[in-house]
Amino acid sequence: MRITKFGHACVRVEHDGRTVVLDPGMFTDVEALDGADAVLITHEHPDHYLPDHLRATDAAVFTIEAVAARIREDAPDVAERVTVVAPGESFDPGIPARAVGELHAVIHPELPRFFNSGYVLTAAGADGGSRKVYHPGDALTPPGEDVDVLLVPVSAPWMRASEAIEFAREVGAPRNLAIHDRVYSEAGLKIVDGHMNAFLPKAGQEYVRLPDGQDL
C-alpha cells in the first residue's frame, strides 16, 4: 500500500494497481486526482469537497447522501458517477472500504451538525494478511476495528490538541499520519507535533506530519 499526503485532508491510497483519493478539497491541487479510479468524500465542507475537482476526473465517486445531494445541485454532470454509501456499509471503490460514523464533530453546540462518514480502506497483502488505513473526515469517531494507519486530524476550529492525542491513543494505530493541517500556521503545527510526540511514542505509536506530495 502506498499512501501519499496531499493538501489539507486529502490522501491518495494506491494498492495493487488501484488508486483511491479521499477528500480532495479546496486546499488540494487537482493533480492529486491524476489516474484515480475512485474518489471518496467524507462530508460537504469545501476543504473536503470541491465540485471542480470532481469534474477534472472521470473517476467514480463514493460518498454519503448529504454530499450526493450537494453534488446533484452543484455538479449535476458528475451525479451519474456517484454511489451513495451508508454508515457502516462495506463497498468496493477499487480498494475495499467501509463507511464509519454519521456526524461531523461539534463545532458549536448552537450550530447544526453536518453529516460525516469516515472510511476504512483494507489492502490485502500477498502474504494473506491485510493493511488498513482510516480517514475519519471531520470527526473523532473510532473505526471499531484495529487499523494500521490513522489519518489523524491535527488542527480544526472544532478540536483541541488534547482531543487529537486522545483520539489517536483510542484508535491505537501503530502509525499516525497528520491530516487537516492547513488551519494552523507552521509554528502552530510544530507545537501540535510536539504534543503528539510527547504522548504517542510512549504507547508504541509513530506520529508523522508530511509535506504535500510525500509518501508515508
Q: Which amino acid belongs to residue 138?
A: D
Q: How is residue 166 written as a grid cell?
A: 486522545
Question: Considering the domain boundaries, does residue 177 fall inside one?
Answer: yes
> Mean pLDDT across the stretch 78-102?
97
Q: What is the pLDDT of residue 128?
A: 76
> Mean pLDDT across the stretch 68-93?
97
The span from the first CA to the last CA of the chain, in angstroms, equals 10
Question: Considering the domain boundaries, does residue 18 fall inside one?
Answer: yes
Structurally, the chain folds into a number of domains equal to: 1
Q: The domain spanning residue 67 has which CATH number?
A: 3.60.15.10
Neighbours of 102 (CB within 10 A): 17
Q: What percent of the chain stands above pLDDT 90?
A: 96
DSSP H helices in 39-185: 51-55, 65-74, 76-79, 161-171
With cut-offs at 50, 70 and 90, classify the pLDDT of residue 194.
very high
With cut-offs at 50, 70 and 90, classify the pLDDT of residue 79.
very high
Question: Considering the domain boundaries, does residue 157 fall inside one?
Answer: yes
DSSP H helices in 32-182: 51-55, 65-74, 76-79, 161-171
Residue 129 above 90 pLDDT? no
CA 215 to chain centre: 15
CA 21 to chain centre: 9
Question: Considering the domain boundaries, does residue 22 fall inside one?
Answer: yes
- Go through 151-167 and write b for each residue having 16 or more CB atoms within 10 A of its CB, e for each that does not: bbbbbbebbebeebbeb
Q: What is the pLDDT of residues 92-115, one digit of tens each?
A: 999 999 999 999 999 999 999 999
Task: Read off the pTM.
Answer: 0.96
> Mean pLDDT across the stretch 21-49?
97
Question: Considering the domain boundaries, does residue 98 fall inside one?
Answer: yes
Question: Considering the domain boundaries, does residue 215 fall inside one?
Answer: no
Question: Considering the domain boundaries, does residue 153 fall inside one?
Answer: yes
Question: Considering the domain boundaries, does residue 214 fall inside one?
Answer: no
Q: What is the pLDDT of residues 164-191, one digit of tens each?
A: 999 999 999 999 999 999 999 999 999 9
Residue 126 above 80 pLDDT? no
| Rounded alpha-carbon distances, angstroms, from residue 56 to 14, 52, 163 | 19, 6, 35
The domain in which residue 108 lies consists of 2-208
Q: What is the pLDDT of residue 127?
A: 77
Q: What is the pLDDT of residue 51?
A: 97
